[in-house]
Amino acid sequence: MSKPFPLAILASGSGTNLQAIIDAVEDGRVPAEIRVVICNRANAKALERAERHQLATELVDHKAFPSREAFDEHVVGILRDRGVELVCLAGFDRLLSPVFIRAFPERILNIHPALLPSFPGLHAQRQALDYGVRIAGCTVHIVDEKTDHGPIIIQAAVPVYSDDTVESVSERILAEEHRIYPEAVCLFAEGRIRIEGRRARIADEEPLADRALVSPALG
Ligand code: GRF
């Protein structure tokens, strides 16, 4: 058997995506090893989750650094020391500078709670609801030097109902995030992703049933 793929997860908040990846690694769905979980907020639930699973953790408070670049250099140092080859951003609330992105070219993944390129940036679910979309969703993509912009690995779509609130639609999207993020990590760990310009080619991709998601449902 080949060696598990060495990855790191960076999180700032509740860490439910972190949890989904931990669970997938622990039950053997993803052939990876979580070398370190890095968190920039001492009170983040994400940190507790990592500790509960006896994972190596590093708390790196961004406020202790004079610049974004200095913080990034420090984090890159930790990742290199741990032999990390894939960095997963999971609700990490700091923008990465080129210092970080160039240290891990095409080796940083992010999850965004919208169907990019629609609704990049903060409060994506609210943006989608306010716009009036009837299909929302989430995206796992490669991180490049523009926010929420790099090549797309996987997307999942969910319906939006007339009586939805930001909370209800966010919950529906989050359930899909927890499905597709471990999937994307798995594709990466198995070496099945090849980036060609903006397009991610997936080796041995299964075709989907030829049926559209239509929302609202046709009567
Ligand atoms: C998720 O909605 C993710 O898409 C966004 O931040 C949120 C993180 O949630 N980037 P959690 O910390 O994984 O629970």
Indicate the average pLDDT of the chain: 97
Of the residues 23, 108, 177, 179, which should be mutated to test ligand 1's pocket, given the most ligand atoms within 8 Å of the CB? 177
**pLDDT surpassing 90 at residue 209:** no
**pLDDT surpassing 90 at residue 218:** no
Mean pLDDT of 72-101: 98
Q: What is the pLDDT of residue 142?
A: 98
pLDDT in tens, 140-179: 999 999 999 999 999 999 999 999 999 999 999 999 999 9
Continuous H helices in 66-113: 68-81, 98-103
52 forms beta bridges with none
Q: What is the pLDDT of residue 133?
A: 98
**pLDDT surpassing 90 at residue 210:** no
- List C-alpha distances in Å: 198 to 24, 79, 85, 124, 184: 27, 26, 21, 22, 16
Mean pLDDT of 191-210: 95
Binned at pLDDT 50, 70 and 90, residue 2 comes out as confident
| Tokens encoding 141 | 């993509």
Query: What phi and psi values does residue 198 have, to the nearest 5 degrees?
Result: -85, -10
Dist CA 81 CA 59 (whole Å): 15
212 CA → ligand 1 middle, Å: 27
The 3-state DSSP class for residue 115 equals coil
10 CA → ligand 1 middle, Å: 11
Q: From the CA of 89, give the closest atom in ligand 1.
A: 10
Mean pLDDT of 111-116: 98
| Tokens encoding 60 | 């790196």
Strands 32-39 and 57-59: parallel
Q: Is 137 in the pocket of ligand 1 (CB under 6 A)?
A: no
Q: Does the predicted model carry a pTM greater than 0.85?
A: yes
| Tokens encoding 171 | 């919950």
Residue 206 DSSP symbol? P
The 3-state DSSP class for residue 93 equals coil
Mean pLDDT of 94-100: 97
**pLDDT surpassing 70 at residue 1:** no
Decide if 207 contacts 47 (C-beta within 8 A): no
